[in-house]
């Protein structure tokens, strides 16, 4: 990357306060044309808040300044931000699946002729943008027919249609396959050559090493520092992000006792007639078993079959020697099988409800008083215990879950499942979209849960997890069992 004399973007002394809480404190960020500038930090470090200031969605406190190509940009106005060439592609894509690619590219800025939307003009103007990105599908294609990777490219095409010079990508590869990720990286390299500045937010360090020219780190709403590409290494980055040495992360302390090797969960010949075919495995008391495979291999589908969320065409589930094959999620939970979904926002949490309400959701009947009146104090006490036990960072049990960072949201969902006192806990990508510090805490919790139940008299909690560093590792290929490896093997 050849830097010009003047940076394309300069953010200086950016502060943002919410109700007396400093979300950002004198943060600075600089980006040059034609560079990928990674922005890293734990969940809650202030990355999203800073990008909302850049996009105009939030107005910063007085005193800060945003300059684009040397000119001061007014803040707090998304239209002015877009007019200055700034585009943000969020982790949750903002496309309309029922509309075509062209309609999505010009959504909110439709081409019109004589007061009528001109679909032909939008299709004609979309084609060169798609060609520029090396996209093979047509502008007339409905977005509902596209894969996640293809939809990500439509978002980039939308940004280019506004003549964006600075594009923010927030966790763009979270749900992409390896092939789609490689295609996205190819597109990013092309955008760099065109002189577009990319601000790249990711928790995946291998992507940061590969793509970024520089990397800036935020911690607790403050600017920690910026590293050049040749200065990047895991120990240094993690220490900047969390304020402690990397040697304290991912330590597995628990090994299941041989005396407790009885099988708690047995899955036999599970299948759905489509993706999952004849899957069988055992999980022992106090053990963590991992299910791994590429995107589309059937990991999530397998867990949903076990949980009764989807209908199975074959197979059975045996819990502590008794066939219990669940017919529904409620049936599974009643029988002692809990499932943490990979999509906590859409399928797991009630984001506009409090931590207290979310934690108590699975056991709300325990708080019923005579006459059907809910014991709110009991729910609040339960939430307080969960906040302490799982180290959930919050100002109050009454705080809305949607206001928490990703890692703390995940802990709230885990706390809800633990309140149901399950015998088997199935965790589908439990560290998806959380930072390295939160990952360490979640893995520590999983290890501690297995240890507690393994040593407790009568305890029989086992865990099945997709992804991560685990006590046992099971690979699934095209929905079928491919092999099993014990920890250390």
For 295-299, 460-464, 479-483, which range has the lowest pLDDT when averaged over its residues?
479-483
Looking at the chain, the whole-number percentage of residues with pLDDT higher than 70 is: 85
> What is the per-residue pLDDT for 473?
35
CA dist., res. 146 & res. 262, Å (int): 46
Integer CA distances (angstroms), 136 to 121, 139, 146, 152, 169, in order: 19, 10, 11, 14, 22
pTM of structure: 0.62
Residues 6+ apart with CB under 8 A from 480: 276, 277, 278, 279, 298
* Class of domain 249-336+422-489 (CATH, top level): alpha beta
Alpha helices in 73-228, H assignment, sequence order: 78-83, 101-105, 119-132, 148-161, 178-193, 205-211
d(CA 438, CA 47): 15
Query: Dihedral of the CA atoms 271, 274, 276, 277 (nearest 10)?
Result: 60
**pLDDT above 50: residue 474:** no
**Sign of the alpha-carbon dihedral angle for 270, 276, 277, 282:** negative
Instruction: Give me the residues paired with residue 292 across strands.
Output: 475
Q: What are phi and psi of 16, to 5 degrees?
A: -150, 125
Domain regions of the chain by residue span: 9-247, 249-336+422-489, 352-419
Ramachandran region, residue 43 (left: φ > 0; alpha: ψ -120 to 50; beta: rest): beta
Instruction: Quote the pLDDT of residue 456.
Output: 37
Rounded Cα distance, 254 and 451, in Å: 6
> For position 443, what pLDDT does the model report?
79
More confident of the two residues 410 and 308: 308
Q: How far apart are CA 73 and CA 15, in angstroms?
A: 16
Q: Which CATH architecture has domain 9-247?
A: 3-Layer(aba) Sandwich (3.40)
With 60 as the cut, is the pLDDT of residue 98 above it? Answer: yes
Section 8-15 average pLDDT: 96
139-143, 184-188, 227-231, 235-239: the lowest-pLDDT one: 235-239
**Confidence at 147, pLDDT banded by 50, 70, 90:** confident
Mean predicted lDDT score pLDDT of the chain:
84
Q: Using alpha carbons, select from 58, 53, 49, 28 the residue that is nearest to residue 216.
A: 28
* Cα distance between residue 475 and residue 299, in whole Å: 9
- Give mean pLDDT, residues 372-376: 78
Average pLDDT over residues 74-90: 93
**What value does the mean pLDDT take over residues 284-305?**
82
pLDDT on residue 19: 74
Please determine, for residue 378, whether its predicted confidence score (pLDDT) is greater than 90. no
Residue 254: pLDDT above 60? no
Among 255, 279, 168, 231, smallest CA distance to 447 is for: 255
| Banded model confidence at residue 468, pLDDT cuts 50, 70, 90 | very low
Is it the case that residue 191 has pLDDT exceeding 90? Answer: yes
Judged against a pLDDT cut of 50, whether residue 39 lies above it is answered with yes
DSSP state of 181: H
pLDDT band at 112 (very low <50, low <70, confident <90, very high): confident
Quickly state the pLDDT bin for 283 (edges 50, 70, 90).
confident
Sorting pLDDT into bands at 50, 70 and 90, what band is 488? very low
Alpha-carbon distance of 428 to 414, in angstroms, equals 11
Identify whether the C-beta of residue 148 lies closer than 8 Å to the C-beta of residue 295.
no
Element (H, E) at 284: strand 279-284
pLDDT tier at 366, thresholds 50, 70, 90: confident
Q: How many CB atoms lie within 10 A of CB 370?
A: 5
Residue 445 near residue 409 (C-beta atoms within 8 A):
no
Helix residue spans in 147-282 (DSSP H): 148-161, 178-193, 205-211, 234-242
More confident residue, 434 or 384: 384
Question: How many Cβ atoms are within 10 Å of 480's Cβ, its own excluded?
Answer: 17
Which of 345, 370, 369, 371 has its CA nearest to residue 358? 345
Average of per-residue pLDDT across 482-488: 50
Q: Give φ, ψ of 313 to 5 degrees.
A: -95, -15
Residue 287: predicted pLDDT: 81
**C-alpha to C-alpha distance for 20 and 23, rounded to whole angstroms:** 9
Span 386-439, pLDDT tens digits: 898 888 888 889 999 988 877 788 889 988 988 888 888 898 888 776 666 677
- Judge whether residue 260 has pLDDT over 70: no
For range 222-234, the mean pLDDT = 91
Q: Is the pLDDT of residue 88 over 70?
A: yes
* DSSP structural state of residue 344: I
């Amino acid at each position: 990357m050849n830097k010009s004399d003047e940076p394309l973007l300069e953010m200086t002394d950016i502060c943002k306060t919410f109700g007396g809480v400093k979300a950002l404190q004198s943060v600075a960020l600089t980006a040059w044309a034609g560079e990928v500038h990674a922005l890293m930090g734990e969940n809650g470090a202030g990355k999203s808040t800073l990008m909302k200031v850049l996009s105009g969605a939030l107005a910063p406190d007085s005193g800060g300044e945003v300059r684009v190509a040397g000119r001061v940009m007014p803040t707090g106005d998304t239209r002015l931000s877009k007019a200055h060439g700034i585009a943000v592609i969020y982790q949750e894509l903002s496309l309309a699946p029922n509309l075509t690619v062209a309609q999505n590219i010009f959504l909110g800025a439709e081409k019109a002729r004589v007061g009528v939307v001109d679909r032909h003009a939008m299709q004609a103007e979309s084609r060169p943008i798609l060609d520029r990105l090396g996209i093979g599908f047509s502008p007339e294609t409905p977005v509902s027919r596209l894969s996640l990777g293809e939809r990500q490219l439509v978002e980039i095409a939308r940004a280019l249609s506004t003549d964006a010079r600075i594009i923010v990508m927030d966790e763009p590869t979270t749900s992409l396959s390896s092939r789609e990720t490689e295609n996205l990286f190819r597109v990013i390299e092309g955008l760099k050559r065109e002189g577009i500045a990319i601000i790249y937010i990711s928790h995946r360090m291998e992507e940061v090493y590969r793509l970024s020219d520089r990397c800036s780190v935020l911690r607790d709403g403050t600017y920690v520092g910026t590293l050049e590409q040749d200065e990047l290494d895991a120990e240094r980055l993690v220490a900047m992000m969390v304020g402690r040495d990397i040697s304290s992360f991912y330590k597995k302390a628990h090994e299941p006792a041989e005396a407790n090797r009885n099988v708690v969960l047995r899955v036999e010949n599970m299948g759905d007639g489509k993706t999952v075919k004849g899957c069988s495995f055992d999980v022992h008391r106090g053990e963590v078993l991992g299910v791994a495979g590429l995107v589309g291999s059937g990991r999530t589908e397998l867990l949903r079959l076990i949980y009764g969320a989807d209908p199975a065409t074959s197979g059975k589930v045996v819990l502590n020697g008794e066939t219990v094959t669940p017919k529904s999620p409620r049936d599974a939970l009643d029988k002692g099988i809990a499932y943490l979904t990979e999509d906590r926002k859409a399928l797991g949490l009630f984001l506009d409800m409090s931590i207290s309400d979310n934690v108590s959701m699975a056991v709300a009947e325990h708080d019923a008083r005579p006459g059907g009146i809910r014991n709110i104090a009991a729910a609040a006490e339960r939430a307080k215990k969960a906040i302490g036990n799982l180290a959930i960072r919050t100002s109050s049990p009454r705080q809305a879950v949607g206001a928490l960072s990703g890692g703390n949201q995940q802990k709230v969902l885990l706390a809800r499942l633990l309140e149901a006192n399950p015998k088997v806990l199935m965790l589908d990508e439990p560290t998806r979209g959380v930072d390295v510090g939160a990952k360490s805490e979640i893995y520590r919790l999983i290890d501690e849960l297995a240890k507690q139940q393994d040593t407790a008299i009568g305890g029989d909690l086992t865990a099945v997890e997709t992804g991560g560093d685990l006590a046992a590792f099971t690979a699934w290929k095209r929905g079928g069992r491919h092999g099993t490896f014990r920890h250390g093997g």
